[in-house]
Amino acid sequence: MKNPLYWALLVGMTVLLMEQGLPVRSQGDQSDNKMMDNITVKQGDTVTLSCAQGDDVKHTAWLNRSSILYAGEDKWSVDPRVSLMTRNQEEFTIKIENVDMTDEGLYVCAVQTNSRPRTTSVHILVQVPPKIINLSRDIVVNEGSNVTLMCQASGKPEPSISWRLAPSSGDLASDDEYLDIPSISRQRAGTYECTAVNDIDTDVQTVDITVNYAPTVSEGRDVGVTLGQRGVLECEADAVPEADFEWYKDDRRIFNGFDGMEIINTGSLSKLTFFNVSDGDYGNYTCVATNKLGNSNTSFLLYVVIEPTSSTLLQGPRAVQDGSGGAMGVHSHTSLLFIVFLPFLLRF
């Protein structure tokens, strides 16, 4: 009777012949050697390997390629993931936990009976979920630049890769590792998703593209304010990065707190506030929005609004008098026309 080491060496030679595609022969008939169906298992799962025994079995061994895992109940493998489940007259079963790619390959169960040895072999195939291993970083570019994004993934079966601009209605921007965006516009800024898919799972990662562009200022709206009241001019600019604002009256720059005026900038909006409008505040104003890519401006007119008093409405046009008490002879139609055309006169 030969020891387990003998049978381990014998099976090792058997495995070598099988890997080389040569016919495998033992001391018995060719029918004593069996090839089981391949076992496909996901990375991280547990796989069990079992072969039939019999009353006349003397020695058994499980091998992985040329490495002995178990010889009978004696564990030869130093891998803690490998353990013996069952060994009796019916079956000899071991299990491998947390299967990895290194576990893929040929496994052989060698059995020595009273008459002859026999082998049972099986091939383990390990499937690996996709994992994105190489991805472009977030980028900041100027409008009009050419942009290329890259996404590479590992996995088994080999994963397919696609790109899309999120959130979009599933519209694929590319079904390749590379996504080319020629002359990028501000509308193509945003978050891009790379998706790697195989039969096992899906992996998704994102890249942010920031597109810088020069400011565009909304058209200024003229504002009419009664003398002594509060007035606000608002200037809005679309820009990346956000614009810096400057205010001018005619050609003179206005600073915060200048002549009782306040400038408040909040993101894309700048407000010029007059808390107590005086005669000197009426006139033309310009808002200039600037970032590193350029500037844009718009103009406003702050004009006077004259509100008639209740006594004026009751007395009619002859109620307005000069300082001596005599009638000034003001004609209501002339006054009305003056108020209407005053904003246009102030522009010149």
Tell me the C-alpha to C-alpha distance, in Å, between residue 10 and each of 36, 85, 185.
Answer: 20, 24, 69
Place of tokens 């408040």: 264
Res 3 pLDDT > 80: no
pLDDT of residue 15: 46
pLDDT tens across 238-251, in order? 999 999 999 999 98
In the chain, helix, strand, coil percent, each to 5? Answer: 15, 50, 35
pLDDT tens across 145-191, in order? 999 999 999 999 999 999 999 876 555 678 889 999 999 999 999 99
Considering the segment(s) 4-18+32-127 as one domain, its CATH architecture is Sandwich (2.60)
CA distance 122 to 232: 83
Overall average pLDDT of the 328-334 stretch: 34
pLDDT of residue 10: 52
pLDDT of residue 171: 57
pLDDT of residue 6: 52
Round the average pLDDT of the chain to a whole number and report it.
81
With a CB cutoff of 8 Å and minimum separation 6, the contacts of 311 are: 319
The class that CATH gives domain 136-213 is mainly beta
pLDDT of residue 310: 53
pLDDT tens across 186-212, in order? 999 999 999 999 999 999 999 999 999
CA distance 220 to 130: 54
Task: Give yes or no on whether 4-18+32-127 and 218-304 have one common fold.
Answer: yes
Helix (H, G, I), strand (E, B) or coil at 63: strand
Contact 3, 9 (CB under 8 A): no
Contact 119, 111 (CB under 8 A): yes
Cis-peptide into 159, omega within 30 deg: no
Domain spans in the chain, listed from the N-terminal domain onward: 4-18+32-127, 136-213, 218-304
pLDDT of residue 101: 92
CA distance 320 to 313: 11
- Mean pLDDT lowest for which of 11-15, 100-104, 145-149, 332-336? 332-336
Give the percent of the chain with pLDDT over 90. 61
Contact 63, 71 (CB under 8 A): no
- Give me the residues paired with residue 192 across strands: 165, 207
Domain topology for 218-304: Immunoglobulin-like (2.60.40)
pLDDT tens across 266-321, in order? 999 999 999 999 999 999 999 999 999 999 999 999 999 987 655 444 444 433 33
pLDDT of residue 345: 47
Which tops the pLDDT comparison, 37 or 93? 93
